[in-house]
Amino acid sequence: MEEPRIIIALDYPNGEQALNLTRQLDPARCRLKVGKELFTRAGPGLVERLADQGFSIFLDLKFHDIPHTVARACLAAADLGVWMLNVHALGGLSMMQAAQEALAKTSSRPFLIAVTVLTSMDQTALAQIGLSGTAEENVLRLARLTQEAGLDGVVCSGQEASALRQALGTPFLLVTPGIRSAGTASGDQQRVLTPREALSKGANYLVIGRPITGAPDPMAALEGIEAEILDF
């Protein structure tokens, strides 16, 4: 593989546990995702520390606020040296455009992507918040809006990746969570695929947590997934 396509989700309650894992990993073989819980507990200092260790960081905070606030938050994230960050597409076109325009002025612009529909949401959950149509229809509509705003791609379930790749073209990034190797539990994710399935449907990057972070030997687990997707 020319570049790491696996993003390991650091879903830990504190920085020390996250660092214990990263000491066992090779930054040339994977990227890392820092989400809300870890960032809230450990702060931006942990992100900077991981970046200094050579890891590419996906800061997964799903910014969703008025355009000016989101633009300023994205600039603050870029200052941490992250490789990728995200906003929530439900914030609308103006919010996403403001974020994109702010990052365009930075000297080392990170990738900016948007969340469409959370992979934990099924048809019942969508109806409860008033979104009509299927999950796939909502994902495609929000992804088109994201592309119109000039962002680099979206977070999406692998089950929607084929339709998005066909509709939005090759340069548009698809970052896919909810990845589980064959035979492993799906946890709280409702729309899951194996690594090979997700890549075959057009995903660019795979977000993988517990199959690696919960393994007795995380590096061996990572190598096993690499072997699954070696020909992609």
Catalytic-role residue among 26, 36, 62, 188: 62
Mean pLDDT of 84-99: 97
Question: What number of other Cβ atoms are within 10 A of residue 81's Cβ?
Answer: 16
Is 65 annotated to bind a ligand? Reply is: yes
Active site residue 105: no
Q: Using alpha carbons only, what angle is made at residue 132 by residues 129 and 134, rounded to the nearest 5 degrees? A: 105
Report the mean per-residue pLDDT for the chain.
92
Is 140 annotated to bind a ligand? Reply is: no
Mean pLDDT of 36-43: 98
Question: Cα–Cα distance between 163 and 160 in angstroms, integer?
Answer: 6
Residue 158 burial (C-beta neighbours within 10 Å; 0-12, 13-18, 19+): buried
Residue 88 clears pLDDT 60, i.e. is over it: yes
Q: What is the pLDDT of residue 16?
A: 97
Residue 185 clears pLDDT 80, i.e. is over it: no
Tokens of 138: 């909502």
| Predicted structure pTM score | 0.92
Catalytic-role residue among 26, 65, 105, 188: 65
Q: Which residue has the higher pLDDT, 191 or 136?
A: 136
Q: What is the pLDDT of residue 1?
A: 47
Is 11 annotated to bind a ligand? Reply is: yes
Percent of the chain with pLDDT over 70: 94
Active site residue 217: no
Q: What is the pLDDT of residue 158?
A: 82
Tokens of 48: 């900077």
Residue 135 clears pLDDT 60, i.e. is over it: yes
Active site residue 62: yes
Mean pLDDT of 158-183: 88
Sequence-ordered list of residues with C-beta below 8 angstroms from that of 46, at least 6 positions apart, any chain: 15, 18, 19, 34, 38, 39
Residue 14 clears pLDDT 60, i.e. is over it: yes
Mean pLDDT of 30-38: 98
Per-residue pLDDT of 136-161, as tens digits, reads: 899 899 999 999 999 999 998 888 89
Q: What is the pLDDT of residue 178?
A: 81
Q: Which domains occur in the chain, in start order?
A: 6-228 (3.20.20.70)
Is 68 annotated to bind a ligand? Reply is: yes
Is 194 annotated to bind a ligand? Reply is: no
Confidence of residue 87 (pLDDT cuts 50, 70, 90): very high
Q: What is the pLDDT of residue 182?
A: 59
Catalytic-role residue among 26, 36, 52, 60: 60
